[in-house]
Amino acid sequence: MDVERTPGRRGRVAQGPAADTGPVAAFARRLWELKRAAGDPSYDRMRDELGALASKSALSAAARGRHLPSWETTWEFVRVLAVGVLGEDETRARLEWRAAWEKAREPEVPEPRRRPWGRAPEPGSGSSSHRRSVARGPGPGLLSHRLAGSWRVRDAEPARRRWAAYGLAAAVAIVLVVALALLFGGAFSAEEPAAAGDVSEFVADVTVPDGTAVPAGSRFVKTWELRNAGSVGWIGRYLVRSGSFGSPGECRTAARVPIPYTAPGEHVRISVDVQAPPAAGHCQVYWKMADSEGHLLLPDARAVFFSVRIVP
């Protein structure tokens, strides 16, 4: 069990899930160790500051080892820590962790049970009634057929083992296909490599700071200030909504908002109209820069977002 450090109490050491209690626990242990290597940020910070698109409870449960988290939760856990904090290559991290997640998800193939199958009696031995019983057909697990006036008896155990081996081989093949698709396929992401010299820098939340209380059902305008910190001018660009979560409902916005032309070194302010949900709760919406066709232009840049509390 993951025990958080408690300020003011000495001798209390954080412990992660035991890796020797099964593949799910071993996978959770890796997530737990990744979190420690990234400076042990709180789950609130992973969500609100580092931009994880998963709830605090889902992130926390992922590192406990009681249940295997979904791939979406796993990747958000890994993306913000391994890529965002530790600076690992995103493609390599996705491939490595997806393969580990698939392995943890595989059911263990049970060892076939051995049954003490009896041997058929030799021709001419035993009573006539027993010989008639054998002649009527093989017992459970035995394959018998008459060759040259005698019975040959085969144990079904090798066949069971072969089928178990076929199932394991099929599972391994699925993992390899998924891994190759993640490495070479374009269906998993619409992101384009950033052009050389294309750099965005977050400057400030101009309106509606994170944690602002917003009345349910109201409308508000969120504005960010960004700086073109590279050498490429921003022409025909947009901020596109790239993810959100909240309870009990999401804030409604346009799918994208335009970014005015911004020359290298210039600052720009970008605003989005937001309709708050009708009931109290919380909502957080993430945005990334894209071109007019929706291709993400700065895949490695951290998303901008707004996070508000919805009050009655």
Q: Which residues are CB-contacts of 194 (< 8 A; sequence separation ≥ 6)? A: 297, 298, 299, 300, 301
Query: Does the pLDDT at position 290 exceed 70?
Result: yes
Which two tokens mark 17?
């899930």
pLDDT band at 109; cut points 50, 70, 90: very low
Task: Please count the other Cβ atoms lying within 10 Å of the Cβ belonging to residue 184.
Answer: 9
Contact 283/251 with Cβ under 8 angstroms?
A: yes
The tokens of 150 are what?
Answer: 């005698």
Burial of 26 (0-12, 13-18, 19+ CB in 10 A): middle
- Residue 158: CB atoms within 10 Å: 10
Q: How confident is the model at residue 2 (pLDDT cuts 50, 70, 90)?
A: very low
Cβ of 43: how many Cβ atoms within 10 Å?
21
Q: CA 171 → CA 92, 177, 277, distances in Å? A: 22, 10, 44
Give every strand in the sheet of 237-247, ordered side by side.
Answer: 212-215, 304-311, 281-290, 237-247, 256-259
Give residue 216's pLDDT: 93
- In terms of pLDDT, which residue wins out, 32 or 107? 32
| Predicted confidence band of residue 137 (pLDDT cuts 50, 70, 90) | very low
Least confident of 24-28, 240-244, 307-311: 240-244
Nearest to 268 by CA among 241, 291, 234: 234
Q: CA 283 → CA 21, 180, 197, 214, 242, distances in Å?
A: 37, 35, 34, 10, 14
What's this model's pTM, rounded to 2 decimal places? 0.43
State the DSSP H helix or E strand holding residue 182, giving kind and residue range, or none if neither: helix 157-184
Q: Among all chains, which residue has been given the structure tokens 């409308």? A: 219
pLDDT band of 13, cuts 50, 70, 90: very low
The answer to whether residue 41 scores a pLDDT higher than 70 is yes
Residues 6 and 65: their CA atoms lie apart, in Å, by 21
Within 10 A of 254 (CB to CB), how many other CB atoms are there?
13
Q: Provide the phi-psi class of 65: left if phi over 0, else alpha when psi is between -120 and 50, else beta.
A: left
Q: Which pLDDT score is estimated for 142?
A: 40
Using pLDDT thresholds of 50, 70 and 90, give the confidence band for residue 164.
low
Structure-model confidence comparison of residues 8 and 88, the more confident one: 88
Structure tokens at 312: 């009655």
Q: Which residue has the higher pLDDT, 46 or 191?
A: 46
Rg (CA), the chain: 30
For strands 212-215 and 304-311, give the pairing.
Answer: parallel
Fold of 200-311: Immunoglobulin-like (2.60.40)
Mean pLDDT (the chain, rounded): 75
**What's the sign of the alpha-carbon dihedral 94, 97, 99, 105?**
negative
* Whether residue 248 has a cis bond before it, omega within 30° of 0: yes
Higher pLDDT, residue 261 or 181: 261
Listed by start position, the domains of the chain span: 19-108+165-184, 200-311
Examine the pLDDT at 74 and tell me if it is beyond 50: yes
Name the helix (H) or strand (E) containing 94.
helix 90-105
